[in-house]
């Protein structure tokens, strides 16, 4: 039986650059950074004092009247997911109420409700058990964003959450793809969300020596994948959502199709808790699986949005994997990491990057890689392959990687839609 094709008919995002897809893309294509000094709390005693914060965000008008009271007790990762989901559904034009069991939802978070975890732990230490709020558990569990979104939007089909660190959103797309192809539903709202610019989180990553510390006075320059002076990632927050839909279902209702989700590749490093395999073996397997399942030849790949977190080890390992995937044929492909502009949104990052790949396809433009002042010669790719300026070119096939602590590797292949 012929495999069902899955397409993207709606997109939505909240991130450090903007509160919607259009403005986000305008800033990305122009090389604008969304990284700044932390304003949410006093970070003066933390070695890394910069982040990609979602500024000027409000939940006013976000929820129904019946849920407003409960919504105020939810953490921001749920609010971000709700805002991005509303955008994606509206963009798709899908009437969920016409067949509520025909739509599913898969929304993941790498960590879940960090603010409530921090505040309730502090209150427990100070006041004992009575200091723990009655909404502590439902506000913090990683699946609650999927639950709230399904309730608010009336989605009654399969309802799931993924939690694989920074690979979370790509794995949400994988589950959505398989749900549709297996006939569980005809459409799936899928993506990731993260509320990670929280004192305990920033302090924790800083103690791991995972964050950039050398650019506290020049935050816009801190996220610099493939630059010789990169010194760690920049933590960010936000959400990204896609409406995935079975092709014939989308065509029957006259939906606008942005791109095709051709395949997802997955693997595990089985190497270290946080350090990637130095030769990128697992990353290569994930990419090769995705490309093979999409039926794409290496020469057809136009753009690879790498995980590229701006860490000394991670960027090198992934570059080796990309080199081995391309087998030295770099003439027609551009490679880069948009994290140079939006930072690392953890469980939401793959969703935002998938949206940017879709925008690259629809706008025939490869985003720039900013902050490469001196290309690292250890990167296993030709310097020109990683473009520092936006490149106007047809993008028919885009590959997007996202890897997570624990050795979780994920890759999506997005294609220009063709009949």
CA distance 314 to 324: 16
Length of the chain: 419
Assessment of whether the complete model's pTM goes beyond 0.95: yes
pLDDT tens, position by position, 307-342: 999 999 999 999 999 999 999 889 889 999 999 999
Task: Catalogue the active-site residues.
Answer: 166
Q: Which residue has the tokens 């630059």?
A: 227
CA distance 274 to 200: 18
CA distance 30 to 301: 23
| For residue 42, pLDDT beyond 70 | yes
pLDDT tens, position by position, 366-399: 999 999 999 999 999 999 999 999 999 999 999 9
pLDDT tens, position by position, 218-259: 999 999 999 999 999 999 999 999 999 999 999 999 999 999
pLDDT tens, position by position, 154-181: 999 999 999 999 999 999 999 999 999 9
| For residue 1, pLDDT beyond 80 | no
Q: Which residue has the tokens 């816009």?
A: 220
- Using DSSP, state whether 3 is helix, strand or coil: coil
User: What pLDDT score does 2 carry?
Assistant: 76
User: What pLDDT score does 284 carry?
Assistant: 98
For residue 228, the tally of other CB atoms under 10 A from its CB is: 14
**Which residue segments constitute the domains of the chain, with CATH numbers given?**
7-252 (3.40.47.10), 264-415 (3.40.47.10)
Buried/exposed 239-264: b ≥16 CB within 10 Å, e otherwise? bbbbbbbbbebbeeeebeebbbbbbb
CA distance 170 to 321: 18
pLDDT tens, position by position, 57-108: 999 999 999 999 999 999 999 999 999 999 999 999 999 999 999 999 999 9
Provide CB contacts within 8 A for 69, sequence distance 6+.
Answer: none
Average pLDDT, integer, range 120-146: 97
Six token digits for residue 260: 């095709």
Pairing outcome for strands 303-305 and 334-336: parallel
| For residue 55, pLDDT beyond 80 | yes
Nearest to 412, CA basis, from 248, 296, 255, 328: 296
Residue 293, classified by CB atoms within 10 Å of its CB into exposed (0-12), middle (13-18) or buried (19+), is: middle
pLDDT tens, position by position, 176-226: 999 999 999 999 999 999 999 999 999 999 999 999 999 999 999 999 999
User: What pLDDT score does 395 carry?
Assistant: 98
């Amino acid at each position: 039986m012929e495999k069902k094709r899955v397409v993207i008919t709606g997109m939505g995002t909240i991130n450090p650059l903007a509160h919607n897809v259009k403005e986000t893309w305008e800033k990305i294509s122009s090389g604008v950074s969304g990284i700044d000094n932390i304003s949410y709390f006093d970070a003066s005693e933390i070695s890394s004092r910069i982040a990609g914060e979602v500024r000027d965000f409000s939940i006013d008008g976000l929820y129904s009247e019946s849920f407003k009271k409960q919504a105020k007790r939810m953490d921001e990762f749920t609010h971000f997911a709700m805002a991005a989901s509303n955008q994606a559904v509206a963009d798709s034009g899908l009437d969920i109420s016409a067949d509520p069991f025909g739509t599913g939802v898969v929304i993941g978070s790498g960590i879940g409700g960090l603010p409530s975890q921090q505040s309730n732990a502090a209150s427990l230490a100070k006041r004992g058990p009575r200091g723990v709020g009655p909404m502590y558990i439902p506000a913090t569990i990683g699946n609650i964003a999927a639950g709230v979104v399904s309730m608010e939007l009336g989605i009654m089909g399969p309802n799931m959450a993924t939690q694989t660190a920074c690979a979370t959103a790509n794995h949400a797309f994988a589950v959505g793809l398989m749900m549709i192809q297996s006939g569980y539903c005809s459409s799936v709202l899928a993506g990731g969300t993260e509320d990670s610019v929280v004192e305990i989180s920033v302090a924790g990553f800083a103690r791991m020596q995972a964050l950039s510390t050398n650019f506290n006075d020049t935050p816009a320059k801190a996220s610099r994948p493939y630059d010789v002076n990169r010194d760690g990632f920049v933590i960010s927050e936000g959400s990204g959502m896609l409406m995935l839909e079975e092709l014939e279902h989308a065509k029957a209702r006259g939906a606008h199709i942005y791109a095709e989700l051709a395949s997802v590749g997955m693997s595990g490093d089985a190497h270290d808790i946080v350090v990637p395999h130095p030769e990128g073996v697992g990353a290569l397997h994930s990419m090769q699986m995705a490309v093979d399942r999409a039926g794409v030849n290496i020469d057809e790949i136009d753009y690879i949005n790498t995980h590229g977190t701006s860490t000394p080890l991670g960027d090198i390992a992934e570059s080796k994997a990309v080199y081995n995937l391309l087998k030295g044929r770099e003439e027609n492909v551009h490679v880069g990491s948009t994290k140079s502009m939006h930072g690392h949104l953890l469980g939401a990052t793959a969703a935002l990057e998938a949206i940017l790949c879709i925008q690259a396809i629809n706008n025939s433009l490869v985003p720039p890689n900013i902050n490469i002042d001196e290309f690292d010669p250890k990167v296993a790719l030709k310097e020109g392959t990683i473009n520092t300026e936006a490149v106007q070119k047809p993008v028919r096939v885009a590959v997007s990687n996202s890897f997570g602590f624990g050795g979780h590797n994920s890759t999506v292949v997005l294609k220009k839609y063709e009949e």
